Structure 1
Amino acid sequence: MSPSFTFAALAVLLVFGLILYFIFRPKRLPPLPAFLPEWRELLLQYVNFYQNLSAADRKKFEARMQAFLQQVTLTGIETEITEKDRAFIAASAIIPTFGFPRWNQYPKLEQVLLYKTHFRWGDFATEGKDRRVAGMVGGGFLNGKLLLSRPSLHRGFKVEGPDNTGIHEFAHLLDKADGDTDGIPDYFLKNDYLIPWVEMIRKESLAIARGDSEIDSYALTNQAEFFAVAAEYFFNQPYKLNRDHPELFSLLERVFQQDMNEDGKIG
């Protein structure tokens, strides 16, 4: 093998290595945003989950909000992002993951797109008829993005009830952590509880279909939607869910690793 051939081969390897480095190198993050007093005021006024935390856990929650806002870009579609939007989006992201101290980044989530109103499926229009979409996890050319409508995001925190679009969509991202958005959170749930979880979906779905459950009928769409709807209920009205659906509540405590009825145990 001639020296010139060896040199050329090494040069090719070097160039190839540099290309791989620039493709896969970790992106440089912006500075960690300061936690604004306005965010804390909004959390204390509207976010029950935050209000029920101890002082130490509130500090952890705030720090994780800062990390989320450092890692994920928020973009307004036909609108400007307000501090209330920023606080509500970050809170929606942190609430479902608060029980996972070493897991604070949603896989491949790069951007949250906030629409001024509901948008239409397909062309994402914010004007005209059939604008029914309140939020969705992006796929295809929208991969790495999560889409939310501002009215639905705000309603989840400002109106009393089990519904919360922000938590719903971030629950879908958690569901997707194992590679499949299928309503089976096996990335977080021990194998011993996977069969009981599937059976719980079957049993609760039958009750919803009979009209014997107040859980939103949207949960019947598929297993993924059941998981996301149940997550909304679990975090927005945990005591009511525990009272009316104790088995479902107990399994969700195990999924999210959070003691939501403050009985000193999970599940």
Structure 2
Amino acid sequence: MAGFIMALAAALVLAGPTAAMLSRGLAAKNYRGELIPTGMGLVFLMAVLAGLGALVLLGRLDREPALAIAFWLTMVCLAGLVDDAAGDGSSRGLRGHFAALLGGRLTTGIAKIILIGGGALVAVDWNSGWRALVQAAILALAVNLLNQLDLRPGRALKFFLCIAAVVALRGNALAAVGCGAAAGLLKGDLEARYMLGDAGANLLGAVLGLAAVQTVSPGAGQALLMLALAAGNALGEFSSYSRLIAASPILQWFDKIGRQAGK
């Protein structure tokens, strides 16, 4: 609970000033063509780190695991921030970025894939043998899945909160801290006052992926999770989550909860 409260407080305090700062130098058009601040994943990162720091100070989380988590999340945030700041949007999805690479053009998306992939390989426990590759795949696939979902105000955050809350109730401290940070950013995202950007969407997936690795039993459980995430990635790559949501009244209702009319 302490980590949740600290992360929530940090997100609430930092959201407004950071959005104002980003609006002067890091803004992008949302799906409606409105120019709003992006890269709010920076606030999510700072809030999660504040929550983890509180847990370390209270003796509820060891320092070394906290540093490993901080490294992974910072790598993911920086990778997304590069895309937010320098990406031109000409290449979309994994297929688009790899097609550009085959055409001799290195996109910020490819740089992001390299950074996140490398970070995932460093973040996992290689003492577990081949299971480490499964865990690294879970981390990378979770990052990309949340990135695919972040196409409408509040969508990725609501998905994250639903899953992370379940994991947190099973005693996972990282998921609880993530819930606090996400809750602090939800209102502004739903009102389209700012965007999480790749930095934020990537971080949501990074937190969920690592919390899942910490919670799901190694072996068959994690292998099944990896396959489920791979299927989710393929669905988003070859279809459209927005179209799938629009085709389901229940999903459409949930997707619009808290969103302003017309948003």
**Fold similarity call, TM over 0.5:** no
Normalized per residue, which structure has more strand? 1
TM-score (norm 2): 0.31
Select the structure with the greater relative contact order (CA < 8 A; seq sep ≥ 6): 2
TM-score by length of 1: 0.31
**Greater helix share, 1 or 2?**
2
